[in-house]
Amino acid sequence: MIRFEKVGLRYGERPEVLRGVNFDLSAGSFHFLTGPSGAGKSSLLKLIYLALHPTEGRIILFGRDVAKVPRRELPWLRRRIGVVFQNFRLLGHFSAIENVALPLLIKGAKRQEVETHVIELLRWVGLGERVAAYPATMSDGEKQRVAIARAVVGRPSVLLADEPTGNIDPDQAIRIVHLFEELNKLGTTVVIATHDQNLIARYNHHPVLHLERAAVRRHDPLSPVTALAAAAAGGVRSHD
């Protein structure tokens, strides 16, 4: 579903952020992407959601080499990937329902047609009472849930989240990971980037992609402790 082949990334003339990264995430999988701050987690997600092009290697999404997809077809790929951005990135002048409806509206859906569905989704994330609220009046936990609802409203096959538990209290965080697990049970491929080791330890039944020194190491969910210890030793370039 998402395959990286010897992917390298650098910003301008700076040192490589990613080097020779290989992995293959199968459809319906659930991964944590971890690594210290600045390791390149956000950058790796951006490569998947097509906000960046790799400087080297190939990225294969839904069986298509991204580099060979004509630019005007990229929106269709993006619509199959839901993203919960760091800092939510909601539109400030749009209410919760409008923010969540946006991915449907840009596809040409009529406002009245999507309203019921969007309200239902907001109820699912626990914001049934906050449908008409504006981001400025919401707590970070509420904004995060609006962002999640927006990410999944178009029924994407892949859901990416960048530090989704970053600014919120532990109770909210558990609630949010629970939402991701529910979506994953429905078949969505999930990748959550986080540097929160407690969170990963708590959900240690999911495999972990560990990012350090520009390379990715994949850890078996059955031995998370050893995996983390190996990761902490660091610097091991690896394959999938």
Partner 1 sequence: MIKRRSPVPFERERSERFLPFVIGAMTFLGALAVVLLFTLDAAMTRWRADLRDTLTVQIPATKEAGGERAEAVLAIVRATPGVANAQLVTYEEVERLLEPWLGKGSAAKGLPIPILIDITRAPGATIDRAATERQIQKAAPGATIEDHGTWLNRLVRLALSIQLVAAAIVMLIGAAAIAVVVFATRAGLAVHHDAIEILHLIGAQDAYIAREFQTRALSLGLRGGLYGLALAAVAIAVFTAALPDLSVAPAFRFSPDGRALVALVLLPVATALIALLTARHTVMRALGRMP
For partner 1, the binding residues (CB under 8 A) are 49-53, 71-72, 74-76, 78-79, 83, 85, 89, 91-95, 97-98, 101-103, 105-107, 111-112, 114-115, 118-119, 131-132, 150, 154
Site track for Mg ion across 109-128, x = CB under 5 A = --------------------
Q: Which stretch binds ligand ADP (CB under 6 A): 41-49, 124-132, 179-187, 223-231?
A: 41-49
Rounded to a whole number of angstroms, the CA Rg of the chain reads 18
Taking the complex as a whole, the smallest distance from the CB of residue 88 to Mg ion amounts, in Å, to 14
- CA gap 203, 118 in Å, rounded: 29
Query: Which residues from 30-59 bind Mg ion, rule CB under 5 A?
Result: 42
Between residues 142 and 162, which has the closer beta carbon with respect to Mg ion? 162
Which has the closest alpha carbon to 149: 187, 170, 123, 116? Answer: 123
Between residues 94 and 124, which has the closer beta carbon with respect to partner 1? 94
Q: Which stretch binds ligand ADP (CB under 6 A): 11-19, 93-101, 136-144, 198-206?
A: 11-19
Taking the complex as a whole, the smallest distance from the CB of residue 97 to partner 1 amounts, in Å, to 5
Taking the complex as a whole, the smallest distance from the CB of residue 134 to ligand ADP amounts, in Å, to 28
Q: Is 120 exposed, middle or buried (0-12, 13-18, 19+ CB in 10 A)?
A: exposed
Taking the complex as a whole, the smallest distance from the CB of residue 167 to ligand ADP amounts, in Å, to 15
Among 6, 24, 26, 38, binds ligand ADP (CB under 6 A): 38
- CA gap 220, 28 in Å, rounded: 17
Residues 145/127, Cβ–Cβ less than 8 Å: yes
Is 121 a binding residue for ligand ADP by CB under 6 A? The answer is no
- CA gap 224, 212 in Å, rounded: 16
The residue assigned the tokens 């971890």 is 34
* Order of strands, sheet of 2-10, starting from the edge strand that comes earlier in the sequence: 16-25, 2-10, 56-61, 64-65
* Residue 53 Cα to chain centre, angstroms: 17
Binding interface with ligand ADP (CB under 6 A) = 11, 14, 17, 35, 37-43
